[in-house]
Chain A
């Protein structure tokens, strides 16, 4: 048996797999859109951290960020792109498949 599940686990897409970003993406996947405050409260991240992760996700084309005003109050609304939704689904499917493969794995003699 090869070490393939472990190689694939180690090679997971870090843009999606980083814990804070995975939390943000998974939360966004359940809604049409959410504002900055909601994501901050849900993930427990600081403003600076959340802002940094969202910028990386936006650069990667996984989320879309709309900035506007509600009266005089700035409002940032975040939604997942269709590419982001498919990448996240693909990522969770990969994780589930790799976990199954890894739990079945036994070291071969001579390994």
Chain B
């Protein structure tokens, strides 16, 4: 559920109606992202406190931190290409879509809805080819991605809870 606040923040930012550029003097985009990241961190602490901590086995020998860094680096480079080169497709959107699709690869035993989300977002990233403006595509993409994060976060949380037996008293 850690990604749910980020999903809500992204949906709020991409909401079709115009939203105020600042709230109490703070830039709205910055505030939404800060709330999303703070929620991610706080929920992480909650999960650790309630369910304990595990360290995953690195996939193909690459640690989770290294994988995340590679995705962030690729996203930043793609964003730069979108802003500077103005290509006929939404490149940073394609990077996220590719990441979701790779993350859902069967060998990683991650659910197929990540794969479906990756395909949908990849198609949205190609919308500029049919004449949609980059700004409108980015807004649609942001909203769909936020909604995907929200749904995936809620589903992950319920399947996570189902994997634990009911809490018992100590040394019963």
Interface size on B, residues (CB 8 A): 19
Task: Write 21 A-B pairs (CB below 8 A) sorted by A numbering.
Answer: A30-B57, A31-B57, A32-B54, A32-B55, A32-B56, A32-B57, A32-B58, A33-B55, A34-B53, A34-B55, A35-B54, A37-B52, A38-B51, A38-B53, A39-B52, A41-B167, A42-B163, A44-B165, A44-B166, A46-B171, A46-B172
Check A46 against B53 for contact (C-beta < 8 Å): no
Interface residues on A, range: 10 to 19
> Which residues on the B side are within 8 Å of A42 (C-beta)?
163-165
B170 and A41: CB pair below 8 A? no
Secondary structure dominating the interface of A: helix
Asked whether A31 lies within 8 Å of B54 as measured between CB atoms, the reply is: yes
Give the distance to chain B from A33, nearest Cβ to Cβ, in Å.
Answer: 5
Residues of B within 8 A of A (CB): 50-58, 163-172
Separation of A43 and B55 alpha carbons in the complex (Å):
17
Is A99 an interface residue when CB atoms closer than 8 A count as contact?
no
Give chain B residues whose Cβ lies under 8 Å from the Cβ of A35: 52-54
Chain B residues closer than 8 Å to A39, beta-carbon distance: 52
Complex Cα spacing A32 to B168, Å: 26
